[in-house]
Structure 1
């Protein structure tokens, strides 16, 4: 009888403890949960609803069109296809370039050299400079007639291209300009490199491994999980790139839509005449599916280069 009472008492205490923990959980996370519902869940649901309507900013009438917007985008909107193509080219060009520069710089800054902290700061500074200042500076450097780049090329007898003022080279110029902001990815690589045990390099050197073999058989397997993280984030960041493309292309994909990335097209559709907010919501959902598709591909490719020991 006493055992049964002790058991019931223990169950009551555990239930009271569980209730108290739930109250604490909601008390401490309530604001975050409310914020998540208001600023994430509601906008997502609202955007999906708008994608099924012909809503326009400043227009009082709104009609439910169902999948009409999706059909129009996929079958009639040629600018949609061009913007998607431009974003694909940009992402597949800029992404690998950023990863390469970030990894090489991280390897150099991980070496035992004097003033490493100063050099790390110098390479990270570009990430905190306002985008409009970056665009203005590069427009000056790459100006076809008065830019420093073409002046240097002209000194060596090479005729410089039109860079951002020519539809043939504007997207290439955008890729070059965008690649300079690799500081965040560099810091992530650097953090991963600092976690590689020095003993592994000592064993590799005893086996006669050179620098390349040390990197391929020791460094990369140990940071492969970090590399995978950077691949996923860089892919998403490149597809979502807006600021630098907006300033370099004067907000219109100048010249001749050659720098019209998808986020620019989406923004102009929603917030420039005739303010087709419903149609823009459809574009955003289709763009989300494209980014999701590439993210799934990245996760599928993960098994080919991410070491199990690195996870």
Structure 2
């Protein structure tokens, strides 16, 4: 006797695929609108004349595009602010990646006394508020004759970027197979050679993620730049807004032109680096 043929597996009707994807699509569009509206408002208002910005609704499109605010911003010390931010952020991120990856390698792969408590202290440093350190850092900067210099910002930036960087890189390096480090020891590599030849190259996705994360945070950092610098020649981009703000009034379109120009580099970097950022975060979340 032959058994009856099994019924074909249930298949989804292809015509309803768009209907099933509709809720997710609507949520994406809604999220895009909410995130894009502030940027659209900022650009739109920066292209109005000062008189029009006060006489019309803030959501009214400009009657005529006024690029004079961008010209005024670029004629001022704005490029000096850009250079200061590029220098401070680049040096700070480079030092953070170097010191953070070295510390993460030691915590992830070297067995030494107090390994766990040291890692716990580093994680505990994440909850230290920045503001409680302003007075000690200000006094220390004054004593070291670094006040009102670009180098006054590098130390605090690196110090406050290291805890989260070490935490992320330690978890990332723990997922690298231990057999690789054992093979390197058999070949005669010491700890530093193992770090430089194996762990540092294999941690590139995590390093890119940490670098982008810290770069964005430091590019927008305000409080240390405000406290530790006083002249435009040493101040960074978040403080450029003060050039267009008086005691009793503000040039709102010019201020928003500064904010737009300040945000553009981050937007461009994110557009080209979002794939690496997401892949780095996912690589750190998957067991090796």
Q: Same fold (TM over 0.5)?
A: yes
The answer as to whether partners of 2:105 and 2:199 remain within 8 angstroms in 1 is no
- Cα offset, 1:17, TM superposition: 4.8
Structure 1 length normalisation: TM-score?
A: 0.71
Match of 1:172 among 151, 155, 162: 151
- Cα offset, 1:118, TM superposition: 2.2
> Could you say what secondary structure the match of 2:159 adopts?
coil
Give the match for residue 128 of structure 2.
129
Query: 2:119 & 2:246 partners in 1: Cα distance?
Result: 39
Query: 2:112 & 2:127 partners in 1: Cα distance?
Result: 25
The answer as to whether partners of 1:269 and 1:276 remain within 8 angstroms in 2 is yes
Say whether 1:163 aligns with 2:146: yes
The answer as to whether partners of 2:92 and 2:158 remain within 8 angstroms in 1 is yes
* 1:76-155 pair list within 5 angstroms: 76-77=75-76, 79-110=77-108, 111-144=110-143
Match of 2:222 among 242, 249, 272: 242
Say whether 1:54 aligns with 2:52: no
- 5+ long unaligned stretches in structure 1: 1-9, 145-160
- Cα offset, 1:218, TM superposition: 1.7
Say whether 1:34 aligns with 2:30: yes
- Cα offset, 1:232, TM superposition: 2.5
Say whether 1:45 aligns with 2:40: yes
The answer as to whether partners of 1:86 and 1:259 remain within 8 angstroms in 2 is yes
The answer as to whether partners of 1:54 and 1:278 remain within 8 angstroms in 2 is yes
Query: 1:141 & 1:83 partners in 2: Cα distance?
Result: 24
Please give the per-residue CA displacement for 1:87-119, whole angstroms capped at 9, x wherever unaligned: 122112212122222112212222223443321
Equivalences, count: 265
Query: 1:82 & 1:104 partners in 2: Cα distance?
Result: 33
The 3 A distance-change label for structure 1 pair 43 and 297 is: closer
The 3 A distance-change label for structure 1 pair 191 and 272 is: farther
- 5+ long unaligned stretches in structure 2: 1-9
The answer as to whether partners of 2:49 and 2:66 remain within 8 angstroms in 1 is no
The 3 A distance-change label for structure 1 pair 273 and 262 is: farther
The 3 A distance-change label for structure 1 pair 272 and 221 is: farther
Structure 1 residue ranges (4+ consecutive) displaced by more than 4 angstroms after TM superposition = 55-58, 61-65, 270-273, 292-299
Give the match for residue 188 of structure 1.
168
Query: 1:56 & 1:128 partners in 2: Cα distance?
Result: 45
